[in-house]
């Protein structure tokens, strides 16, 4: 797959930077792409599990190193697999130093502030890895599709997000953004499966059907947001997610590679510990 001329990673392309006025074509990425998968689904699940164990080891080192913080963003249409990715990829990590934040529609207090106000309070500390299940990008998706903000306000929000993420990156926060990309047909099957399974019916939200009617508008909103906010300091990776196993494999592989590239190391022992023998 050819490189995109912006800050988006399609699978494992090299990092590139966003170019003003160059749109991102989300439709060029096939949600059913399974290029990282093998013909053996069980084998691929074992690969994901092995990567999850490696991620636990790396997270332990990340927590001890404490030179960086990491923010992982999971975005995607309803049923794209944000919860499933959390379980499969991050489920082996120790609660020590790992935290998940699930974002919902802003409440009354949050709406009285700038859209990024509530985000600041949930950011990772040094040594901590935080996963956003949805994120600050909801504020340039839902209002855009609902036409409750103007084109000017949308552009201003993109600019604020870029400045916000650049400030985080400059002060030691590594930002990894995944857009879990599923097809409309796959979403239909997953929504129906929720309705048909009594143990999953509680997860079904009738509002998802209303959002589904605006599928095209959401796809355009995602493409525009990716175009505007794919940057060298906070690039996007669009993950083909019709296959749950392939989705998990891509996210786990990308995250493992990102952590290994950081040259993490344990801090030197305190001098006063030299020669101590526990009896």
Q: Which residues, at least 6 apart from 259, have a Cβ–Cβ distance to it below 8 Å?
A: 55, 58, 59, 62, 70
Task: Print pLDDT tens along the chain (279 aa).
Answer: 334 445 555 555 533 344 545 688 888 889 999 988 889 999 999 999 999 999 999 999 999 999 999 999 999 999 999 999 999 999 999 888 899 999 988 899 999 999 999 999 999 999 999 999 999 999 999 999 999 999 999 999 999 999 999 999 999 999 999 999 999 999 999 999 999 999 988 888 888 898 999 999 999 999 999 999 999 899 999 999 999 999 999 999 999 999 999 999 999 988 898 889 999
pTM: 0.91
Cα–Cα separations (whole angstroms), residue 134 to 36, 82, 83, 87? 25, 8, 10, 15
Helix (H, G, I), strand (E, B) or coil at 234: coil
State how far the Cα of 205 lies from the Cα of 107, in Å rounded to an integer. 19
Question: Given the structure tokens 């909103």, which residue do they identify?
Answer: 221
Contact 15, 7 (CB under 8 A): yes
Closest CA to 226 of 24, 16, 19: 24
Q: Domains along the chain?
A: 8-14+35-264 (3.40.50.300)
Q: Please report the pLDDT score of residue 84 as a whole number.
A: 96
Question: Given the structure tokens 């990776």, which residue do they identify?
Answer: 237
- The values of phi and psi at residue 78, to 5°, are -55, 135
Closest CA to 18 of 213, 185, 158: 158
Other CB atoms closer than 10 Å to residue 93's CB: what's the count?
21
């Amino acid at each position: 797959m050819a490189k995109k001329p912006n800050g988006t990673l399609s699978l494992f392309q090299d990092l590139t930077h966003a170019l003003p006025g160059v749109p991102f074509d989300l439709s060029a990425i096939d949600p059913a792409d399974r290029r990282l998968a093998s013909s053996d689904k069980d084998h691929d699940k074992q690969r994901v599990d092995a990567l999850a164990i490696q991620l636990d080891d790396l997270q332990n080192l990340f927590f001890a190193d404490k030179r960086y913080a990491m923010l992982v963003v999971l975005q995607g249409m309803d049923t794209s697999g944000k919860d499933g990715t959390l379980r499969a990829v991050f489920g082996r990590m120790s609660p020590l130093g790992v935290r998940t934040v699930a974002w919902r529609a802003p409440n009354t207090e949050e709406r009285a502030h700038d859209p990024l106000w509530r985000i600041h309070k949930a950011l990772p500390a040094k040594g901590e890895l935080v996963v956003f299940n949805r994120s600050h990008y909801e504020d340039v998706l839902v209002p855009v599709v609902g036409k409750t903000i103007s084109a000017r306000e949308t552009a201003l929000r993109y600019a604020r997000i870029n400045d916000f993420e650049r400030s985080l990156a400059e002060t030691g926060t590594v930002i990894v953004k995944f857009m879990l990309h599923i097809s409309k047909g796959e979403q239909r099957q997953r929504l129906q499966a929720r309705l048909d399974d009594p143990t999953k019916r509680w997860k079904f939200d009738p509002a998802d059907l209303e959002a589904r009617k605006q599928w095209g508008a959401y796809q355009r909103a995602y493409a525009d947001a990716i175009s505007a906010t794919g940057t060298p300091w906070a690039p996007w990776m669009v993950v083909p997610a019709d296959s749950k196993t392939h989705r998990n494999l891509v996210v786990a592989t990308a995250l493992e590679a990102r952590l290994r590239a950081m040259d993490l190391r344990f801090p030197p022992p305190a001098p006063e510990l030299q020669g101590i023998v526990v009896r």
